[in-house]
Amino acid sequence: MQLSDMKIIITGAGGGMGAHFATRVVEAGGQASVCDLGEEGLKALADACASLPGKLHHQVCDVSNEEAIGKFVDWSFEQMGGLNGLVNNAGLLRDGLLVKKDRNTGEIIKMSREQWQLVIDVNLTGATLMVRDVVAKMAGEGQSPGVVINMSSLARYGNRGQSNYVAAKAALAANTVTWAREFGKFGIRVGAIAPGMIETPMTRGMNEKARNALVAAVPVGRVGEPEDIWKAVQFIIECDYFTGRTIDVDGGLTM
């Protein structure tokens, strides 16, 4: 598939990597229909894309809301005059140990059900319902070829303090295989990317010491940039022989 032919939904594009991916698609002459939780980042992105060759369409949509997803997918199809791609990018963190002992009081503290559920609702259930509705639309409207890209994470291999996020990101990588097998007959490929540590609002708040320790462990010696991950997105879109795999783009951190 060519970038200039893309009519692609990108979730969580009000900032970070999603905004970067959308800009690259529109720069190449394609169309992107993007969503996020709030209007502000989407408006800034729309302004930045206004003079580019392609088109950007934007709407507020909470991917943890099933009804909102259905409406956004239908709206995107109408705006773009079709739909042939999805970058399932929206995500959030609510890190914490599953069980910890308070240093001062010795009290045992458990991760709350809410802390678990929010991350699962957005990063896994929301992402899955987005794949379901996008693929249903593409298959129902005879849109082929098509491509779905899931944003997993190096956390898919397991990471201390991230039980909720690990569960979501590992499931997305595993279901990339499931969905590649299921959707091949519709002419739809499915790939995933598992980024290492990338410079975005998600990682900017990280404590300096933890950040330096992490960077020291990255064989290429630096934090990744959204452009590093865009190169993998572009590869999955353009390589018609790629499906069912997760690409680790982590500077070698998880070798």
Ligand X SMILES: NC(=O)c1ccc[n+]([C@@H]2O[C@H](COP(=O)([O-])OP(=O)(O)OC[C@H]3O[C@@H](n4cnc5c(N)ncnc54)[C@H](O)[C@@H]3O)[C@@H](O)[C@H]2O)c1
Active site amino acids: 165
- Contacts with ligand X by CB under 6 A lie at 11-12, 14-18, 35-37, 41, 62-64, 89-92, 122, 126, 151, 153, 195, 197-198, 200-203
- Please give the structure tokens belonging to residue 132: 């379901």
Q: Which of 92, 91, 72, 51 is nearest to 9 (CA)?
A: 72
Residue (33 or 64) nearer to ligand X, CB: 64
- Shortest Å distance, C-beta 102 to ligand X: 28
- Shortest Å distance, C-beta 197 to ligand X: 5
Residue (28 or 215) nearer to ligand X, CB: 215
Q: Which of 103, 187, 108 is nearest to 148 (CA)?
A: 187
Residue (37 or 218) nearer to ligand X, CB: 37
- Shortest Å distance, C-beta 156 to ligand X: 9
